Structure 1
Amino acid sequence: MAGLKRKLKFLVTLTMVNLLIFILVFHGGGGQDKGHKKVLVPSTRFWSKLAPSQSYWNRQQQRLDLQHNPILASSNSNNTSHDYVRPVPDWLNDTGLNPDRCQPDYRVTTHVKDYNSLPPRFKDFLLYMRCRSYPLVVDQPDICRNTRRGKPFLLLAVKSLAPHFDRRQAIRQSWGQAGVLANRTVVTVFLLGNTTAVDHHPDLSEMLRYENDHKHDILQWDFRDSFFNLTVKEVLFQDWMTTRCPGAQFIFKGDDDVFVNTLRILKFLKGLSGPRVRDLFVGDVITNAGPNRDKKVKYFIPESLFVGKYPPYAGGGGYLYSGHLAGWLHRVSQHVPLYPIDDVYTGMCLRKLGLGPEKHKGFKTFDIEEKYRRNPCVYKGLMLVHRRTPQEMIQIWAWLNDPNLTCQ
């Protein structure tokens, strides 16, 4: 009898506990339902319809962004049902496009509203804007392997023109000396295109061949070497580097009319560590800039080509970055249309990576005050100064290497 009472008491207790749980759950759920009787629907669409830009470069960037959008690519490739496939905008379809990207794209004559009134340099750039591959006619396939200490620590890549022999030679005799400097391996290459009769250049091919036979540091591609094609030179160098010199730890890239304190750069790099080494990109950074609309200056960009602000970028006179970042810049550049100003283009590629250049006070791409230009000690703390003649390069290098130079 006592056992039956215990069982009955247990069943009653269990029933009360379950009833209490039921009441609590039901009351909580009911409270939620009471507060949200309706499903809230957003008043506007989350995804707005993308309208093509009226400016040609911006429209090409929109096109690439859509083509390489992983969400859109996934929805179009993984879903077979017509209801789930996103329709491609008409303006995204490249109908009538020549598959050879290095053939002139005559569609720009109608896609750029003021094409016929643009200066010839714009017409040439727009016609060949899609081309990123040109024959390499002078190569140095082993320049980064034939070093006494293995892979180069610093690769100096200098933009030059065929007629600028005196500048190249002054760089070789001063800040661009290849070999071992400050116990680090340095490699120097000069980046050239083809100076053609169209731009009224004399034929210097024999002189250039003689120079390369003796110096073995020239890279030349068969493209028109003009101001607007400096971006082409940039992407071609990136291709070359990933193939011929992928092990370079750091790269300096600049013009052939700057003086570079290579010793100061090597000292700066020696003090870096951790993430700073991996993502390094330093120079004389320009911010809050935009396209110049003055037709009289060489940096003029019409609204029909580009609208908007430029991302932060390092002045093209020279900047320093890591070999690790160089590989990422090479890959991301495929997703950014060529732009006629090369340093701005590099800034665009950095922004695409979610990065930005770091300003360093040692880069003086707009020169220093005239009263300091003959002071050797001023150059000792700088990394770069723009512009200097070949004679001035040799003079400043001699100052910096004078054992008797003492600076306060």
Structure 2
Amino acid sequence: MARRRLKLVVTVIVMVNFFIFIIISRHGGRDKAGRRRALVPSRPFWARLVPDPAYCNRQQQILDLRNNRVLAANYSGAELPDWLNDTHLTSDPCRPNLRVTTQVKDYNSLPERFKDFLVFMHCRSYPVLVDQPDLCREPPFLLLAVKSLAPHFDRRQAIRQSWGRAGAVANRTVVTVFLLGEAAPGDHHPDLSGMLRYESARHRDLVQWDYRDSFFNLTVKEVLFLEWVQARCAGARFVFKGDDDVFVNTYRILDFLGGLSAPRARDLFVGDVITDAGPHRDKKVKYFIPESLFTGAYPAYAGGGGYLYSGDLAARLRDASRRVALYPIDDVYTGMCLRKLGLAPEKHKGFRTFNIEEKYRSNPCAYHSLMLVHPRTPQEMIQIWAWLSSPDLKCQ
């Protein structure tokens, strides 16, 4: 009897709530005369943007507004705040943006590398001085894109003789390209333009743009490369991008890529991933970023020594880069572009951007299962490649 009474009570409560719901749904949106009335929210769904005091954050706010039609509709042209109406982001040709000198509160006290970056931060297009339009006439399975500097001929030559050898490796087509900017006289580099012309004519693997090749401009190189890939090598199945002082086990990379499923291959982005990081505030650190430039945490990103991703993702990264404000640290910037796509890099233990234990460095088998080791001299690159290419090498 107790169970039956409990069941009856529960049934009655459910029915009462059901009828209340029907009554509210029929009359909740009606006025006293029974006519339907529009339910107007008490405040706008999209809150108005408040300018971020950090300059890079603020430039991202501007880009977000321009690429969000719903948010942009919250403002009429007459009431658009001056900080959101910054036309210097898209200026062409690239002229120095001198407004930034008053928009960054501590601009005058910043090191010269920051001033140079900030004044030209809006510029994303530079003339091509040396190009290789036929490099990918036959779409490669793997494109090896190496960031280099004009004076680093010995590194490039060592890569050509070792892990960057063009042609067929393990029955897969591999193509190598070196990415250069200009060695500016202000950085006290000797004039090597004649040697570069000879090197390009001999090897046909250099791409050079007319911009100042500096540490903070590595992000510019990243953006220019993503545009170049879509123009010259859009058919590449996979892309490795790294520095010219790393050793890459091309055999291992090709083996890894050959075993991927189609869904994983499409969104592939692997490397030595760094998480829960943020800007360094110590001025003595190479990666120092002042609070006036950026605040907040970094997204997960792969160390710039080298990472591997799909050709399909290269096209999407190019599109995302147009919606992400330039940032002076290139690997962090790439992580920002991935975040914009709703993706994150995948950590792979084969990428050792912080080297391996010293006791293993002279052991050929230590490199057998790795994809990348940083750093390595030109001589070490050639030595390790000889080890891995030897048919006598036996590793468990």
Please say whether Structure 1 and Structure 2 have the same fold, judged by a TM-score greater than 0.5: yes
Aligned runs of 1:7-406 on 2, under 5 Å?
A: 31-32=23-24, 46-73=45-72, 87-94=79-86, 99-100=91-92, 102-145=94-137, 150-406=138-394
- TM-aligned CA deviation for residue 43 of structure 1: 7.7
- Distance in 2 between residues matched to 1:87 and 1:171, nearest whole Å: 56
Structure 1 residue runs without a partner (length 5+): 1-26, 77-81
For 1:190 and 1:352, the matched residues in 2 are separated by 27
Number of equivalences: 372
Corresponding residue of 1:3: none
Residues 109-130 of structure 1 show CA distances to partners (whole Å, capped at 9, x for unaligned) of 0000000000000000000000
Q: Output the TM-score relative to the length of structure 1.
A: 0.86
1:79 corresponds in structure 2 to: none
Contact 1:363 1:385 in 2 (8 A): yes
* Structure 1 residue 274 displacement after superposition: 2.0
Post-superposition offset of 1:206: 1.0
* Structure 2: stretches of 5+ with no match in the other structure: 1-18, 32-38
Conservation of the 8 A alpha-carbon contact between 2:90 and 2:122: no
Shifted more, 366-375 versus 30-39: the winner is 30-39
Q: Deviations over 1:139-177 (max 9, x none)?
A: 0000100xxxx3100000000001101000000000000
Amino acid at match of 1:111: Q
Normalising by structure 2, what TM-score?
0.89
What secondary structure does 1:266 align onto? Answer: helix
Contact 1:98 1:105 in 2 (8 A): no
| 2:71 partner amino acid | L
User: How far 1:211 sits from its partner (Å)?
Assistant: 1.1
Aligned residues of 1:75 and 1:86 also touching (Cα < 8 A):
no
For the residues of structure 2 that align with 1:238 and 1:37, how far apart are their CA atoms? 52
SS of 2:332's partner is: helix
User: Which amino acid in 1 is paired with 2:47?
Assistant: S
The corresponding residue for 1:6 is none
Tell me which amino acid in the other structure corresponds to 1:70. Answer: R
Task: Give the SS at the match of 1:32.
Answer: helix
Write the distance in 1 (CA, Å) between the matches of 2:278 and 2:170: 40
Secondary structure of 1:345's aligned partner: helix
What's the secondary structure of 2:384's corresponding residue? helix
Structure (1 or 2) with the larger CA radius of gyration:
1
C-alpha contact (below 8 Å) 2:97/2:119 kept by paired residues = yes
CA contact (8 A) 1:53 1:59 kept: yes
What does residue 4 of structure 1 align with? Answer: none
Q: Aligned partners of 1:151 and 1:347: how far apart in 2?
A: 27
Q: 1:338 to 1:405 in 2, by over 3 A?
A: same
Instruction: Note the alpha carbon deviations across 1:197-244, whole angstroms, 9 max, x for none.
Output: 100001111111111111110001110000000001111111111011
Superposed CA RMSD in Å reads 2.5
Q: Percent identity?
A: 71
**Counterparts of 1:61 and 1:269 in 2: how far apart (Å)?**
35
- Measured against aligned partners, the alpha-carbon deviations of 1:9-53 in whole angstroms (never above 9, x if no partner) come to xxxxxxxxxxxxxxxxxx768853899799999787643332100
C-alpha distance in 1 between matches for 2:90 and 2:333: 25
Q: CA deviation at 1:91?
A: 2.1
Deviations 1:324-379 (A, max 9, x none): 00000001101111110000000000000000000000000000010110111110
Q: Distance in 2 between matches of 1:125 and 1:182?
A: 42
**8 A Cα contact 2:130 2:206, kept in partner:** yes
